[in-house]
Amino acid sequence: MIGFAIHSRQRAVSAELVEQFRRIPVANVSDCMSRMAAGGARLRPMHDGTLMAGPALTVRCRPGDNLLVHKALDLAAPGDVIVVDAGGDLTNAIIGEIMTSYAATRGIAGIVINGAIRDSGAIRRNAFPVYAAGVTHRGPYKDGPGEINRTVALDGMTIEPGDLILGDEDGLLCVPYDQAQELYQQAAAKHAAEEQTLAQIAAGKLDTSWVDARLRAQGCDPAAA
């Protein structure tokens, strides 16, 4: 049935690559993607801030309904990140403490809800990664429809099943499967450069001459001040 189906995932980023990305802040990866991709500022970490990384298992569900999310919890492999597009609606919670506890026991790497959660206090006190757009005590329905392992989009960020999903305290980012290896090399170099800058700051040796050079290039005299 169109709009009510479960599909198989054809590919996924490797566990080795996932572990490599865990060492790099999301902001560094985002910079290397021309700062053009983001999961939306509304999607915030609801847990204790533990880093999240893993291949996406995508779910599209009717706002306020979590039947397909329950199925995704059973289908997900250890290390997967379940990404749920619930339309961004905050009327009904899609998951709560029971579902996140079950996900953790299955080795799932995290859950992203483009919608609301409940039991926020319990989730906040735990390390299991949960990102969501809001909180409400009103529970979900379990009727469908929905789809598993179809393309979803969160605030313009397209996610294909098996793409790499990253999350830290700055938010969420999807790294496309075909670009993941190349982006890792670029992001690792970016991270190393920023670590060097921080070391220069700590030593009192940071060179800020680029600021005046940029002002001159834009037609502004830096000496006027």
Beta-bridge partners for 58: 83
| Residue 106 is assigned to a ligand binding site | no
Three-class SS string for 190-224?
A: HHHHHHHHHHHHHCCCCCCHHHHHHHHHCCCCHHH
Contact 147, 59 (CB under 8 A): yes
Q: Is 33 annotated as a binding residue?
A: no
Nearest to 161 by CA among 49, 5, 13, 4: 13
**99 annotated ligand-binding residue:** yes
118 a known binding residue? yes
Q: Is 96 annotated as a binding residue?
A: yes
Residue ranges at the known binding site for substrate: 96-99, 118
Residues tagged in the binding site annotation for Mg(2+): 119
- Could you tell me which residues are annotated as the binding site? 96-99, 118-119
